[in-house]
Amino acid sequence: NRTFHDIENHWSREDIEIMAAKQIINGYDGTHFVPERTVSRAEFAKMVVQSLLTNPYYKIKMTDLVRPLFVDVHEKAWYRPYVDTAAYYNIIQGSGNAIFRPNDPVTREEMAVILIRVMNSEEEVQWMKGQYDAKLIPAPFNDMDDTSSWALGSVLLAQQKGIFKGDQNGNLRPDDYVTRAEAAVILKRTMALQGLLYTPKTIKGILSISTVEAEHLELKTSGAQGETYVIIPSDEIMKNKLMTYVDQEIVLTGYEDDQPSIFIKKMFKALAIGDKIELYCWRCEQKQLAMKQ
């Protein structure tokens, strides 16, 4: 277990401790986390690469390039391997002219773009943007007009997947700088969606719709000792897929969710249909093929 003196009563304490235990994030002196300090682009590059190195579905490796990929990333900078690796796999990009701005704070909309790339969801980004431009889906945040055009699709998808949530006024604040606490929370949500925080479990049974308490999906496993689970889709896309399997037998992979709820039955967070989580990294395969050649 990892904790820090300055997060004892902080709203993000649990998520910080989980990320620290997995060595995704670190403190400053071993005892302090400084949760309200902003995260630089270099620091966030390290966090993202660390999370990917724990992901068995990615085939990412730390790069060992002769020269840095950006002119403002010093050859001996502590963050250079992480920035080079993230850029090599097209997870992060610079500002043009080989400029990365490593010491600039990362913004919320920049974070959205990076994390959606991590989840390999570029096609979904374009689809979401098209739906929004055609006014087929509503604005999820009151300040969507403040979102840069290059980040719009990623912000929409990050909200739909539950990675980003608005503030108490329903705003995203896309230009706001991300704090260390916020980075820990949002990275944890992203890793949970990828099945990286809990031991995945597979259940099989008949999927149905229940209206008890509130309309929801349930799955009853087969056998004399069959259990009934309340199914929590990982996002709206998964929910729509599950609706096509109602009254059919289905195999789901995910994990039991012990969060408080109005239901007295076990909760199951569905991450994938089938017996494994598919997070194929096309970029990683192409990069490795190029290296072999």
Domains (range + CATH), the chain: 5-193 (no CATH), 201-273 (2.40.50)
- pLDDT score of 1: 59
User: Quick one: pLDDT band at residue 280, thresholds 50, 70, 90?
Assistant: very low
Percentages helix, strand, coil for the chain, rounded to the nearest 5? 35, 15, 50
User: Quick one: pLDDT band at residue 131, thresholds 50, 70, 90?
Assistant: very high
Count of helix runs (H) and strand runs (E) in the chain: 9, 5
Q: Decide if 160 contacts 236 (C-beta within 8 A).
A: yes
Q: 171 pLDDT exceeds 60? A: yes
**58: CB partners within 8 A, 6+ apart:** 52, 279, 281, 284
User: Quick one: pLDDT band at residue 72, thresholds 50, 70, 90?
Assistant: very high
- pLDDT score of 293: 41
Name the most confidently modeled range: 15-24, 32-41, 157-166, 236-245: 32-41
- The residues that bridge with 272 in the sheet, in sequence order, are 253
Q: 278 pLDDT exceeds 70? A: no
User: Quick one: pLDDT band at residue 4, thresholds 50, 70, 90?
Assistant: very high
Q: Decide if 218 contacts 207 (C-beta within 8 A).
A: yes
Mean pLDDT score, 84-108? 93
3, with CB counted inside 10 A (0-12, 13-18, 19+), is: middle
The DSSP 8-state label assigned to residue 144 in this structure reads G
Q: 20 pLDDT exceeds 50? A: yes
CA distances (Å), 181 to each of 13, 15, 18, 34, 218, in order?
Answer: 8, 8, 12, 8, 34
- pLDDT score of 235: 81
Amino acid identity at 238: M
Per cent of the chain over pLDDT 70 is 91
Averaged pLDDT score across all residues of the chain: 88
Q: Which of 49, 30, 38 is nearest to 187 (CA)?
A: 49
Question: How far apart are alpha carbons 110 and 175 in whole angstroms?
Answer: 9
59, with CB counted inside 10 A (0-12, 13-18, 19+), is: middle
User: Quick one: pLDDT band at residue 49, thresholds 50, 70, 90?
Assistant: very high
Q: 284 pLDDT exceeds 70? A: no
Q: Helix (H, G, I), strand (E, B), or coil: what is residue 51?
A: helix
